[in-house]
Amino acid sequence: MFIACVLALDHTGLAAFALLCAVIHECGHIIMLRILKAPVEKISFRLFGIGIVLKKGMALSYGQEIAVALAGGTANFITCIPAYILFHNKLFPGQSGAIFAFSLLLGIFNLLPIGSLDGGRALEAALCRKMSCGLAGKIVNIVSAIFIVPLTAAGVYVIIQTGYNISLIVAVIYLAAALVIKNGFIASTHAKNTSGR
C-alpha cells in the first residue's frame, strides 16, 4: 500500500526508478542465496525492510552471510555499468541517468556499517568469526552510532540548503528506529531467557 501511494503521488516518475533499483538490490540477495543453494521459504515485507526466510533446518555460515549481505549492493553496482553506458551515449538519458544515480546511491548507502543495513550485517558476521556474537553486536552498535551522527548532520544540512529535501533525515530516523527496535528485541529476549533459568 505504501509503495502504491508513493507511485501515485510521485509526479516526477523517479519513484518508479527508485523502486526498480530496490527490487534489483533484493534480487541480488536472492540470487546469492540460490548460488549458495539455500532455499527461500518466504519473502515478507516489513516496516523495516524485506525479510527473507530460509527453509527450516537451513543455516548459513558467517562467510555465506557476508556474501548474501554484500550481494544486494553488488547487484546495484553491476546495474550502474549498463545505465552509465546508456547515459554516456545519450540513450534514454533521463531514465538511464536516474537508474545510475539510484543504483549507485542505494549500493553505497546499504554498504554503510550500520546494524540495520547490509554493511552492518556483513560487519557483524565478520566479527562473529573472531569473537562472541554478543561482543560483535555491541561493536556494530557503536560503529552504527558513529556513522549515524554525521549522517544526521548531513541530513540537516541538506534540509537547510534545499529547504525541502528531507529524504536523508528520514533515512537516518529509519535507521535509528530500526537499531532501537532491534536492540530492544534482543534485550527483551535476553531478559526472558534469564528469567526462565
pLDDT digits (tens, 9 = 90+) for 137-166: 999 999 998 999 999 999 899 899 988 778
The pLDDT confidence band at residue 10, using thresholds 50, 70 and 90, is low
Q: Give the C-alpha separation, 115 to 121, whole Å.
A: 6
DSSP assignment of 132-153:
-HHHHHHHHHHHHHHHHHHHHH
The pLDDT confidence band at residue 176, using thresholds 50, 70 and 90, is confident
Residue 161: how many CB atoms within 10 A of its CB?
Answer: 8
Q: Give the C-alpha separation, 54 to 44, whole Å.
A: 12
Q: Mean pLDDT over residues 6-16, rounded?
A: 65
**Burial (Cβ within 10 Å: 0-12, 13-18, ≥19) of residue 29:** buried
Q: Which stretches does DSSP call E strand in 10-61?
A: 40-46, 49-54
**What grid cell was written down for 133?**
556474537
Q: Mean pLDDT over residues 100-116, rounded?
A: 91
Most confident region among 38-47, 153-162, 180-189 by mean pLDDT? 153-162
- Whole-number pLDDT of residue 57: 74
Nearest to 125, CA basis, from 63, 192, 76:
63
Q: Mean pLDDT over residues 57-85, rounded?
A: 93
Q: Which stretches does DSSP call E strand in 36-192?
A: 40-46, 49-54
Q: Are 117 and 176 in contact (CB under 8 A)?
A: no
What percent of the chain is modeled with pLDDT above 90?
50
| Report field, pTM of the whole predicted structure over 0.75 | yes
Q: Which residue has the higher pLDDT, 108 or 52?
A: 108
What percent of the chain is modeled with pLDDT above 70?
83
- Whole-number pLDDT of residue 11: 64
- Whole-number pLDDT of residue 164: 79
Would you kindly state where each structural domain of the chain is located, as residue ranges? Answer: 1-111, 132-197
